[in-house]
Structure 1
Amino acid sequence: MLKVFNTDALSRNQRFQRALLAGIVATIVLMVAYGLLAQMLRIEFSYVFLLIGYAIGWAIRTYGRGVQLKFSILGAVCAVICFIGADMINYFGFGVFTNISYFIAAFQTYLRILLSFNFNSLLGLLFRVGGVYAAFYSSRIV
């Protein structure tokens, strides 16, 4: 009996490595783009977090083509990193990534801003959670 193997097929680890690379690239590109846009316009576009989350998930799903839960977790983690980094660029500029003590102080200030108890910060937090969910849901083939 003749067996035909697909030698061009990627293994599970290779698909996850491609998904990881695509997720990192998408995270960095979207983080810098949104951070700069929000910093220049001085307006927070909360609904854009849903689109960013979906875009990160799409990149992971397209290049990784995985069905395991780890692809969804990768998408959610990339979205959280993207949202935090974009907000840090928006509020404090790129200089926040050059000095670790400045980054820690800025991160504490960012958490106070994000978790302050008013309607706008609560709505912004809900959009960020929605973006993380969009990345989680769209990162793998279901």
Structure 2
Amino acid sequence: MTVTHNCVLPNALRIPALTKLTNKRIVLASASPRRLQIFRQFGLDPEIIPSKFGENFPHDEFSNVYEYPVATATEKAVEVYRRLVEQDPEDPPSLVIGADTVVLTKVPEAGSNIHDSLLPDIRPDILEKPHDKADKSSYATRTERWKM
């Protein structure tokens, strides 16, 4: 039997910014059960409306690999917001939250200069959500080579 314990104390997350969101229309532009769980721990229960954004930015167009997931998350939120406003201009969401998770290979060691890691020969690869078992296997092989 597995016991799940919420280690967050009930009063720990009662901060003004979150309190102001309590009666607002909040939308999570993701179908991730884990992301929803995190928001619920904060006392928020967002509507779940997954984004239809294609997540097709070319990785090499970003001068810094860390900009890629930020840009993708932003576009996911914008796509959902526009779609909802188009469907019902009288009921726009107060907040739309987008998120993107990627795995970086060849991550620089702690304390190293982040810009040194972005040289073309050691630039981290961006791995997104695997689409099938072959992708998962490929990702495992690619990340295993870079474990310290």
Q: Normalised by the size of structure 1, how large is the TM-score? A: 0.32
More strand by share: 2
Q: Which has the higher contact order (CA 8 A, sep 6+)?
A: 1
